[in-house]
Amino acid sequence: MAAATAMADADGLGAVSMRAVATALGTGAGSLYRYLSSRDDLLDLMADRAAGELRPYPEAGDDWLGAMLRIARRQLDLYRRHPWLVDLLARQSAPGPQSLAWFDHCLGVLRPVPAPAAAKFEAIAMMTGVVSLFARSEQSGPPAGFDGIDMTAFPHLVEAATAAPAPAPRRDLFEATVRSVLRGLLTDAA
Amino acid sequence: MAAATAMADADGLGAVSMRAVATALGTGAGSLYRYLSSRDDLLDLMADRAAGELRPYPEAGDDWLGAMLRIARRQLDLYRRHPWLVDLLARQSAPGPQSLAWFDHCLGVLRPVPAPAAAKFEAIAMMTGVVSLFARSEQSGPPAGFDGIDMTAFPHLVEAATAAPAPAPRRDLFEATVRSVLRGLLTDAA
DNA sequence: TAAAACTGCGAACGGCGTTTGCAGTTAGAG
DNA sequence: CTCTAACTGCAAACGCCGTTCGCAGTTTTA
């Protein structure tokens, strides 16, 4: 798991092949199957191990929203450290103990919130999703140039591109989004 | 593209192999490279073709938020029709003409909004991301059973699971989330 | 009519995840 | 102490994958 994680951090999930991991461990590809049932199994273990890095969990003072925001920031940091984690979020596999512990802590933070359990599940999932969106947009950099495209067909795009570069008031986009999503999903006041 | 799209709709992106597409077309795998530079190229073309299904674009009346919500609903419908599109969102490749046209239309809808162009870009991207999160959560079904796990370590999870099944007030979660994200990112009132 | 360019295509290459059978080692029973 | 059974590490092999290549057959150009 350590070897595979190091390789994924450096060169992405695609670099984590059974042969590469085995080579890093000084053995053959087939040997890994004494300890793992499949490559997906390895990926699951890596994901749960990384989820352990979310500790220590931010504790809720009297305001659950502030605690959830700190939790979201820790998630974002984790996704920055391990960009491949974002790709693993899509997969549907049984969550490991570390992931469950984190989820349990979130439920604990949300305990004073008067909302049904299902709503809290959805809110936590949506928060994780929003964090992953920000992580991904940070990774992918600027949105690719429009080279060799007839721009006359897209007037609004041209207008926006030629506008003033940026007045840059820019309050914290991440915090604002997470806050609005959580408040929108967990409180009656939309 | 039509053959590949049909296969992806039926069995997911993994079923779209060059050999499978070629077989459906009654030829060999290598022959496809006379028309495509790579498999990624095929995927890009499929994505842009699917983006064409977003037409006709909902027109903005006097309220841009309502128009954006209708646009988001059309996106969600598209992702339901073509679940594999969600997987393609992660890739960073030059957007095709259909995608650009859609994006341009969104900018047109947002024209009366007094926000910098960069904020509008971010808002549209975040809306697309949120839609993809909902599409994905619909696809993946219930979040996998907790079989053979020591639940005593996760008290809040147990409490939430054993709580009343669901009071089910449940206003429209999708619309509420999209609305809160757009208003949060494009208006001064957070 | 000859030459040049282009098209379709099957075979082949390297890499992948995974399976399998074989040596070498360890553990247990008589 | 010995024989046997179970387990471990491992390299070779299997069937996929995306992609490249060279060869025929056809069409365009001179």
pLDDT at position A170 is: 60
Which pLDDT band holds residue A13 (cuts at 50, 70, 90)? Answer: very high
| Confidence at B124, pLDDT banded by 50, 70, 90 | very high
pLDDT in tens, A74-94: 999 999 999 999 999 988 888
* A187 phi, psi to nearest 5 deg: -120, 160
Helix (H) or strand (E) run with residue B21 in it: helix B18-24
User: What is the per-residue pLDDT across B149-167, written as a single tens digit (0 to 9) for each?
Assistant: 777 889 998 888 787 666 6
pLDDT of residue B76 exceeding 90? yes
pLDDT for the residue B173: 82
Asked if B30 CB < 7 A from strand D, the reply is yes
Give the mean pLDDT of chain A: 88
| CB proximity B93–strand D (7 Å threshold) | no
User: Helix-strand-coil percent breakdown of chain A, rounded to 5?
Assistant: 65, 0, 35
**Distance separating alpha carbons of residues B20 and B110, to the nearest angstrom:** 42
B18: Cβ under 7 Å from strand D?
yes
DSSP string, B148-159: T--GGG-HHHHH
Q: Are the C-beta atoms of residues A11 and A84 closer than 8 Å to each other?
A: no
Q: Nearest by CB to B166, which of A116, A173, A184?
A: A116
In this predicted structure, what is the pLDDT of residue B190?
46
Give the distance from residue B140's alpha carbon to the nearest chain A alpha carbon, in angstroms. Answer: 7
Using C1' positions and the CA of A31, the closest nucleotide is D10
Both tokens of B166, joined, read 């669901």
pTM: 0.89
pLDDT 10s digits, A108-137: 999 999 999 988 998 999 999 999 999 998
- Per-residue pLDDT of B10-52, as tens digits, reads 999 999 999 999 998 888 888 888 889 899 999 999 999 999 9
pLDDT of amino acid A45: 93
pLDDT at B3 over 60: yes
A&B contacts, CB < 8 Å: 150
Instruction: List Cα–Cα distances, B160 to A104, A170, A185, B138, in angstroms.
Output: 10, 38, 17, 21
Residue B18, nucleotide of least CA–C1' distance: D18
The partner residue sitting opposite B126, judged by closest CB among A97, A146, A177, is: A177
**To probe the interface with B, which of A68, A104, A136 has the most B CB atoms within 10 Å?**
A104
pLDDT of A163 > 80? The answer is no
**Which nucleotide across the nucleic acid strands is nearest to A39, CA versus C1'?**
C17
Top pLDDT among B62 and B67 is at B67
- Cβ–Cβ below 8 Å for B146 and A121: no
Buried b or exposed e, range B1-13, using 16+ CB within 10 angstroms: eeebbebbeeeeb
Contact list, A90 vs chain B (CB under 8 Å): 86-87, 136
Q: What pLDDT does A99 receive?
A: 95
pLDDT of residue A190: 46
Residues of B in contact with A112 (CB under 8 A): none
**Distance in angstroms: CA B20, C1' D3:** 55
Output the DSSP codes for B60-111: P-S-HHHHHHHHHHHHHHHHHH-THHHHHHTS-----HHHHHHHHHHHHHTT
